[in-house]
Amino acid sequence: MKPIRLLARVIGVAAMAVAVGTAVNQILNGGRWNWWALAAALTLATLAEGVNRWLVRSDVRDGQIRPTLWPTLTAPDESPRRLTEVTPRDLGVHPNRFGPEGEALYIPRDVDDALDEALTGGRRPIVVVAGPRLAGTTSTLAQAAQSQLPDHYVLGFVDDPRVRLTDMIECSRRWAGHGPGAVLWPDGLTPDRFTELALLPADRLPDGLRVLATIDTGELEGLRIPEHQVKALEEHAVQVELGVLTRTERAELRAQDTYAGLRPVLDEDADVLMGRLMVAWEQIHDALTPAGEETTDRVALLHAVTDWYRARLPRLLTTDVLTHLYGAYRREPAGQSVIAPASAAGYARALEWATAVRPDRPRLIDVQTVAGGRRYAPHSLLSVVADDGSASVHWPVQDALWAYADRFFDGDQRRNIGYTALRMDAHSAAHRLLGHPGTTIAPDALNQVAAWLHGIGDTTAARRWYRQAIDTGHTDQAPRALFGLGLLEAEHGDIEQARRAYGQAIDTGHSDHAPKAMANLGNLEAGQGDIEEARRWHRKAVDTGHPEVAVEAASRLRELDRTEQDRRRAEWFTRYGWQAYADQELIQRRGEGPDDAAE
């Protein structure tokens, strides 16, 4: 299809050149117009461009979207390179600030042997390295792949949300049968890609093809990747966990003169990630630091592009979408109306600046070719800085992005974006994205939104979300919601409703929420003056043996006993006319009881 598109484009350009040349020639020759020649040339140019556009659209029609190889992993003849022919940076490793051209000595990791075994002696063709961002997952996996599989072809595809993982596998099939085999390299799995990989049938991979992937463990903590999918991948893949530097790794790093500048940090013995020591942060920080109107345009653009990927929106960030988002991001901080125009010239200058490679910084926004057009993608460190609460230039995903998602996505896609909002503590956005009628929501998400609404005082909405969670009947989340509802009703003085919710939570027999409900019900009854009922519930809480609740309930029982003793003392003193001693504070201060007074 590519040669045909190229031919159509060449014909169109040639026809347009003929049209322009004809017009100029006729003007220079007395102004006598040969209308039919000019019309024919223009018609041919228009037809050629129409054919080209139709061919482009045909690539993306009916799901027939061709995966696009990373340019850095592609040879001039558009074939994939071998692992021995590429650099770690080609594979996605961040430039190392200690080495020339961003390349520096690899520091051995404790997981290296496990990875080498997985790539050479293991029977599972899928290997996933998981760790926090900047733990060094990509560099560690790249080192293992290049050392153990040097002659394998490596296929890395632009992560186009329209392209399925199975399509990438099919494109890799022909290279899997060449020589020693091929490697599919999905670096930085998104939740959707992880799901595809977890549900991939074991026999779907062709012989000779390995899938080597990395994932940020933060992605595994949210609701977009259900626990059963994590377990499904564990059954047919080798998973390796990477974290902060170990003692062995610190010693290796300290021993290298190349990294002598890191020794003071290493001597502090604080937990640290390898990547945080190696990458250059200053250039990214400087680009995000506001300094004048032009910088404001640039920062708005960088925020818009970065937030699109932080929120994991499952569409291409195209020119039209970015133009729309930039306007919203430019207006939001200024509190301008949604109809207030954003400067087109400012946007154009900011985009030109961000997509350029400069001596003082890397390209901040990459323009990537995909089937049917192009998309914009941020430098990977931008999202790291954005999420780093210790960075002076960090920022939350702006409401303009969540509003766009709520307007232009629906169904499961909008729900999944809502889950991402929850993971990022953007509760207001999650409430909006998950609150559409007919949306099937995970019970955990229902409880999270309910608790947030409870916290901000929206009692009516909180009740509704708690009850939705209760109605799911989930073994963990329904008792949690009953406990939360009981707490809410107690706080707002509806004692009977609180008793009912706590009682239902207790009836579930849940190992955590039932004891908590017992203790809270004991406190509730004590507040109502029913000391015996309060004691009864606290004793039940103690009997559960819950490691925290039982201890607290025992303490409350002792307090209740002391309170009851004080009450009886006060009654005794009053009965015998010692009213002065009936004051509870005086009794506690003197430590006198009926026996003492009788003497």
Confidence (pLDDT) at 570: 47
Give the mean model confidence (pLDDT) for residues 49-63. Answer: 48
SS3 call for 72: helix
Confidence (pLDDT) at 335: 56
Mean pLDDT: which of 170-174, 337-341, 483-487, 582-586 is highest? Answer: 483-487
Task: Kindly tell me if the per-residue pLDDT of 412 is higher than 90.
Answer: yes
Delimit the domains of the chain by residue range: 2-59, 71-277, 282-411, 441-573
Confidence (pLDDT) at 33: 52
Give the mean model confidence (pLDDT) for residues 249-264. Answer: 94
**Structure-token pair, residue 137:** 């997952």
What is the residue-wise DSSP string for 253-299?
A: HHH-GGGGGGHHHHHTT----HHHHHS--HHHHHHHS--SHHHHHHH
Confidence (pLDDT) at 25: 56
557 or 405, greater pLDDT: 405
Rounded CA-CA distance 356/359 in Å is 10
Select 71-277's CATH number: 3.30.1330.60, 2.40.30.10, 3.40.50.300, 3.40.190.170: 3.40.50.300
Flag the least confident range among 96-105, 117-126, 354-363, 404-413: 96-105
Rounded CA-CA distance 133/384 in Å is 7
Q: Tell me: the pLDDT tens digits for 12-39?
A: 545 555 555 555 455 445 555 555 655 6
Rounded CA-CA distance 274/254 in Å is 12
pLDDT category of residue 395 using cuts at 50, 70 and 90 = very high
53 or 561, greater pLDDT: 561
Q: Tell me: the pLDDT tens digits for 127-163?
A: 999 999 999 999 999 999 999 999 999 999 999 999 9
Confidence (pLDDT) at 59: 47
Rounded CA-CA distance 99/436 in Å is 52
Confidence (pLDDT) at 246: 96
Rounded CA-CA distance 302/379 in Å is 9
Give the mean model confidence (pLDDT) for residues 296-312. Answer: 96
Confidence (pLDDT) at 149: 97
Task: Kindly tell me if the per-residue pLDDT of 196 is higher than 50.
Answer: yes
Give the mean model confidence (pLDDT) for residues 205-232. Answer: 94
| Paired strand residues for 80 | 74
Q: Are 442 and 419 in contact (CB under 8 A)?
A: yes
Confidence (pLDDT) at 109: 97
Percentage above 70 pLDDT, the chain: 81
| Paired strand residues for 365 | 378
Confidence (pLDDT) at 11: 55
CA atoms within 13 A on the CB side of 367: 11
Confidence (pLDDT) at 57: 47
> What angle (nearest 5°) sits at the alpha carbon of residue 354, between those of residues 352 and 358?
95
Give the mean model confidence (pLDDT) for residues 556-564. Answer: 78
Place of tokens 């991948």: 233
Place of tokens 């050392």: 147
Q: Are 183 and 152 in contact (CB under 8 A)?
A: yes
Task: Kindly tell me if the per-residue pLDDT of 70 is higher than 80.
Answer: yes
Residue 477 CB coordination number (10 Å):
21
Query: Parallel, antiparallel, or unpaired: how do β-strands 365-370 and 153-155 relate?
Result: unpaired
Task: Kindly tell me if the per-residue pLDDT of 408 is higher than 60.
Answer: yes
Task: Kindly tell me if the per-residue pLDDT of 585 is higher than 80.
Answer: no
Beta strands in 115-256 (DSSP E): 126-131, 153-155, 182-184, 209-216, 238-241
Please, what CATH class does the domain formed by 441-573 belong to?
mainly alpha
Buried b / exposed e across 185-202, counting CB within 10 Å, b at 16+?
bbbbbbbbbbbbbbebee
Task: Kindly tell me if the per-residue pLDDT of 56 is higher than 50.
Answer: no
Task: Kindly tell me if the per-residue pLDDT of 255 is higher than 80.
Answer: yes
Over the chain, what is the mean pLDDT? 86
Task: Kindly tell me if the per-residue pLDDT of 46 is higher than 90.
Answer: no
**Which amino acid, residue 140?**
T
- Rounded to the nearest 10 degrees, the angle between the axes of helix 443-456 and helix 477-491 is 10
Q: Are 571 and 593 in contact (CB under 8 A)?
A: no
Confidence (pLDDT) at 86: 97
Phi/psi for 598 (5° steps) reads: -65, -30
Confidence (pLDDT) at 30: 54
SS3 call for 406: helix
**Structure-token pair, residue 375:** 């998309």
80-83: list long-range contacts, CB under 8 Å, 24+ apart: 80/153, 80/154, 80/155, 80/175, 80/182, 81/153, 81/154, 82/150, 82/151, 82/152, 82/153, 82/154, 83/145, 83/146, 83/149, 83/150, 83/151, 83/152, 83/153, 83/154, 83/183
Task: Kindly tell me if the per-residue pLDDT of 212 is higher than 50.
Answer: yes
Entry field: residues in the chain: 599
Buried b / exposed e across 555-577, counting CB within 10 Å, b at 16+?
ebbeebeeeeeeeebbebbeeee
CA 83 to chain centre: 29
Task: Kindly tell me if the per-residue pLDDT of 172 is higher than 50.
Answer: yes
Rounded CA-CA distance 213/94 in Å is 16
Flag the least confident range among 343-357, 511-525, 541-555, 583-597: 583-597
Query: Parallel, antiparallel, or unpaired: how do β-strands 365-370 and 373-378 relate?
Result: antiparallel
Confidence (pLDDT) at 101: 77
pLDDT category of residue 60 using cuts at 50, 70 and 90 = very low
Q: Tell me: the pLDDT tens digits for 457-484?
A: 999 999 999 999 999 999 999 999 999 9
Q: Are 154 and 182 in contact (CB under 8 A)?
A: yes
Rounded CA-CA distance 191/273 in Å is 23
pLDDT category of residue 247 using cuts at 50, 70 and 90 = very high
pLDDT category of residue 426 using cuts at 50, 70 and 90 = very high
